């Protein structure tokens, strides 16, 4: 089934000089190279953001610690949040979309390959500008310093009065530039999913991940421009003395919150829907069953996309919006748990009665489901207005969204890396080391973030740089900090695994997992043109149909 015409091009044989390969990568408009560069750059930022988090945990390990001064601490949590959301989550997920979307819909490239490169480089330069603030900005007290206004940059902390110098401008511009990059990539995703599908691949035969990416792209196009507009307004406030967000001069600080969260909540789904896509691709393959309820999964995805646009103000219950708005946003937030719950049940039903194979990707996927459900449940708690009044801006919230974004998105990303690494490189990642990585990450993650719920309920506010000794926070914070080196060991092991496998990993072959989607129908790594012949498609599992002509899915559609 997997006979591929060998493209024994001579150039792959002889090693390239550093300069040659650098040019080849920087000038590339190939979606696979760009996707890998997205993921690699995202992982670099992941390490940076991780170090920032580790420093904060070090400071918080015991009461009244003085390792880090308050100003630096403010910069650390601002940069950690901004980095993880804009420079890790978005690019890694967009990178996977870039790599997988054309392969999975059977196309030779994205719809606009050059625009794709443009978006990638905007992300890189945006991230570089943001981090340039550490040396180039004029921060507090005139010395260079990173932005320190929190990742959601609430007004009026961002006004000229309270944020001297221009570090906040760096935050605005860095995110604005990379945001423009995300939007161009989203346009590309939509055009690719709609226009570039191979013959026979109707919309309802697209792999789940393509559906997720399509919905994510639509969300990016609705949400990110709102952030861009709000950031432009903030820039006007700071540069030209405009009056958008400064309450002392007719502006409205709450308007910033509305605009930011109108972006911010869809952003959460932008970050988690691609991970849903990874799960929906990996789970069936390792359960040896087709995805349960394909049509319902698609409907739930689109439903999440729509409802995600109407829940933003549940981040603002403590603002005092009044009972009407509070109840509306609480209700819409409860509503979004319905399509999300449908997905969880469909995943469980996919595993149910399947022949499960617990390789590393599957481990991460099951970890994803468990952790995401926990994060979702605390989310429902926080959507309840009175509970939110009690817990808002406490460590409970920090625990909640790390369960969703770390236990959810990051576990999904690791699952995807272990699953598609053989396709991208032709080498398998070491499964044994991978399982070690998983358990270290899982245990470290639980140690770090589970106690945060407790310290939050006990009343520990987020963003404080230290706390007093007699509040009952110490033991929980200590446990949280103990989890950090365990996670770091897991990540280090993963990096070692990547290096080791790239050097002398087991050859993967074209289809190591016995997959069903089109990316496994080409060689590993795929040639620049993806497919020697454009594939055709008769069902949602085109490769199954080709492998099992006696019992194709097409009979069951």
Residues 44-73 that bind another protein (CB under 8 A): none
Residue 546: CB atoms within 10 A of its CB come to 18
Q: Which of residues 316-345 bind another protein (CB under 8 A)?
A: 321-322, 324-325
* d(C-alpha 373, C-alpha 408), whole Å: 9
Q: Which of 108, 160, 463, 500 binds another protein (CB under 8 A)?
A: 108
Q: How far is the CB of 536 from another protein (least distance, A)?
A: 4
Stretch near another protein under the rule CB under 8 A, chosen from 90-98, 222-230, 363-371, 395-403: 222-230
Q: How far is the CB of 396 from another protein (least distance, A)?
A: 18
Q: What is the 3-state secondary structure (H, E, C) of 14-42?
A: CCCCHHHHHHHHHCCCCHHHHHHHHHHHH
Residue 161: CB atoms within 10 A of its CB come to 10
Q: Which of residues 537-556 bind another protein (CB under 8 A)?
A: 537-538, 548-552, 554-556
- The reply on whether position 235 binds another protein by CB under 8 A is yes
Partners of 427 in beta bridges:
507
Q: Which of 58, 67, 118, 459 binds another protein (CB under 8 A)?
A: 118
* d(C-alpha 501, C-alpha 506), whole Å: 7
- Give the residue with the Cβ less far from another protein, 173 or 443: 173
- Give the residue with the Cβ less far from another protein, 31 or 57: 31
- Give the residue with the Cβ less far from another protein, 88 or 176: 176
- The reply on whether position 186 binds another protein by CB under 8 A is yes
* d(C-alpha 214, C-alpha 541), whole Å: 19
- Give the residue with the Cβ less far from another protein, 108 or 462: 108
Q: Which of 94, 180, 234, 308 binds another protein (CB under 8 A)?
A: 180
**DSSP helix/strand/coil, 422:** helix
Stretch near another protein under the rule CB under 8 A, chosen from 43-51, 200-208, 277-285, 330-338: 200-208
Residue of 198, 289, 249, 225 lying closest to 522 (CA atoms): 198
Q: How far is the CB of 122 from another protein (least distance, A)?
A: 5
Q: Which of 37, 56, 93, 233 binds another protein (CB under 8 A)?
A: 233
Tokens of 490: 């897991």
Q: How far is the CB of 20 from another protein (least distance, A)?
A: 12
Q: Which of residues 262-321 bind another protein (CB under 8 A)?
A: 294-295, 321
Q: What values do phi and psi take at 243, rounded to 5?
A: -120, 45
Stretch near another protein under the rule CB under 8 A, chosen from 231-239, 431-439, 458-466, 473-481: 231-239
**DSSP helix/strand/coil, 248:** helix
Stretch near another protein under the rule CB under 8 A, chosen from 20-28, 93-101, 487-495, 512-520: 20-28
Per the omega criterion (within 30 degrees of 0), is the bond before 531 cis?
no
* d(C-alpha 514, C-alpha 474), whole Å: 49
Q: How far is the CB of 442 from another protein (least distance, A)?
A: 26
First-to-final CA distance of the chain: 23
Q: Which of 21, 161, 239, 327 binds another protein (CB under 8 A)?
A: 239
* d(C-alpha 215, C-alpha 229), whole Å: 22
* d(C-alpha 89, C-alpha 216), whole Å: 13
Q: How far is the CB of 96 from another protein (least distance, A)?
A: 20
Which DSSP state fits 519? G
Q: How far is the CB of 294 from another protein (least distance, A)?
A: 8
> Do the beta carbons of residue 405 and residue 49 sit within 8 Å?
no
Q: Which of residues 446-485 bind another protein (CB under 8 A)?
A: none
Stretch near another protein under the rule CB under 8 A, chosen from 73-81, 269-277, 459-467, 524-532: 524-532
Q: Which of residues 121-160 bind another protein (CB under 8 A)?
A: 121-122, 124-126, 128-129, 132, 136-137
> Do the beta carbons of residue 108 and residue 102 sit within 8 Å?
yes
Distance of alpha carbon 210 from the chain centroid? 16
- Give the residue with the Cβ less far from another protein, 138 or 431: 138
The CA-CA-CA angle for residues 258, 264, 265, to 5°, reads: 95
Stretch near another protein under the rule CB under 8 A, chosen from 63-71, 232-240, 369-377, 397-405: 232-240
Residue with tokens 């209700």: 331
Burial 27-41 (b: 16+ CB within 10 A, else e): ebbbbbbbbbbbbeb
Residue with tokens 């919006």: 321
Stretch near another protein under the rule CB under 8 A, chosen from 57-65, 223-231, 464-472, 492-500: 223-231
* d(C-alpha 472, C-alpha 425), whole Å: 50
- Give the residue with the Cβ less far from another protein, 320 or 472: 320
Q: Which of 2, 4, 29, 425 binds another protein (CB under 8 A)?
A: 29
Q: Which of 22, 44, 194, 331 binds another protein (CB under 8 A)?
A: 194
Residue with tokens 């404080």: 464
Q: Which of 26, 161, 248, 327 binds another protein (CB under 8 A)?
A: 26
- Give the residue with the Cβ less far from another protein, 296 or 433: 296
- The reply on whether position 390 binds another protein by CB under 8 A is no
- The reply on whether position 356 binds another protein by CB under 8 A is no
| Total interface residues for another protein by CB under 8 A | 106
Query: How far, CA to CA in Å, does 275 sit from each of 31, 35, 89, 212, 271?
Result: 20, 16, 10, 9, 7
């Amino acid at each position: 089934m997997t006979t591929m015409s060998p493209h024994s091009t001579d150039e792959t044989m002889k090693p390239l000089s550093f300069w040659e390969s650098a040019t080849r990568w920087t000038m590339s408009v190939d979606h696979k190279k760009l996707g890998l560069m997205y993921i690699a750059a995202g992982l670099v930022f992941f390490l940076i953001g991780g170090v920032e988090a580790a420093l904060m945990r070090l400071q918080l390990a015991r009461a009244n610690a003085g390792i880090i001064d308050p100003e630096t601490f403010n910069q650390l949590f601002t940069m950690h949040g901004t980095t993880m959301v804009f420079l890790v989550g978005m690019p890694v997920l967009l990178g996977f979309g870039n790599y997988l979307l054309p392969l999975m819909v059977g196309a030779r490239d994205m719809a606009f390959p050059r625009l794709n490169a443009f978006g990638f480089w905007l992300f890189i330069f945006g991230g570089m500008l943001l981090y340039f603030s550490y040396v180039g900005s004029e921060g507090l007290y005139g010395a260079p310093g990173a932005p320190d206004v929190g990742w959601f940059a609430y007004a009026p902390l961002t006004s000229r009065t309270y944020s001297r110098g221009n570090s906040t401008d760096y935050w605005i511009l860095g995110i604005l530039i990379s945001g423009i990059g995300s939007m161009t990539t989203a346009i590309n995703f939509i055009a690719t999913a709609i226009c570039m599908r191979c013959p026979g691949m109707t919309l309802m035969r697209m792999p789940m991940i393509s559906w997720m990416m399509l919905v994510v792209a639509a969300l990016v196009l609705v949400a990110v421009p709102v952030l861009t507009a709000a950031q432009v307004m903030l820039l006007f406030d700071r540069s030209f003395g405009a009056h958008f967000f400064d309450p002392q001069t007719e502006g409205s600080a709450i308007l910033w919150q509305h605009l930011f969260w109108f972006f911010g909540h869809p952003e959460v789904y932008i970050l988690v829907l691609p991970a849903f896509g990874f799960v929906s691709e990996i789970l069936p393959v390792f359960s040896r069953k087709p995805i349960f309820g394909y049509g319902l999964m698609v409907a739930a995805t689109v439903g999440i996309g729509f409802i995600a646009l109407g829940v933003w103000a549940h981040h603002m219950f403590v603002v005092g919006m009044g009972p009407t708005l509070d109840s509306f946003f609480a209700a819409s937030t409860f509503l979004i748990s319905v399509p999300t719950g449908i997905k969880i049940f469909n995943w469980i039903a996919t595993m149910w009665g399947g022949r499960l194979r617990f390789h590393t990707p599957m481990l991460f996927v099951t970890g994803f489901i468990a952790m995401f459900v926990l994060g979702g449940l605390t989310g429902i708690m926080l959507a309840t207005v009175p509970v939110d009044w009690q817990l808002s801006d406490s460590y409970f919230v920090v625990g909640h969204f790390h369960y969703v974004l770390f236990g959810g998105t990051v576990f999904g990303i690791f699952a995807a890396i272990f699953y598609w690494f053989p396709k991208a490189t032709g080498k398998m990642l070491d499964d044994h080391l991978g399982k070690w990585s998983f358990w270290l990450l899982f245990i470290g993650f639980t140690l770090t973030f589970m106690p945060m719920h407790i310290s939050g309920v006990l009343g520990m506010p987020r963003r404080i740089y230290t706390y007093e000794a007699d509040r009952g926070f110490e033991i929980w914070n200590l446990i949280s900090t103990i989890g950090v080196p365990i996670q770091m060991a897991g990540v280090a092991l993963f990096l070692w695994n990547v290096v080791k496998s790239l050097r002398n990993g087991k050859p993967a072959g074209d289809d190591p997992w016995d997959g069903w989607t089109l990316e496994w129908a080409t060689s590993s790594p795929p040639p620049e043109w993806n497919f020697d012949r454009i594939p055709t498609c008769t069902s949602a599992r085109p490769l199954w149909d080709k492998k099992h002509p006696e019992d194709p899915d097409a009979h069951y559609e």
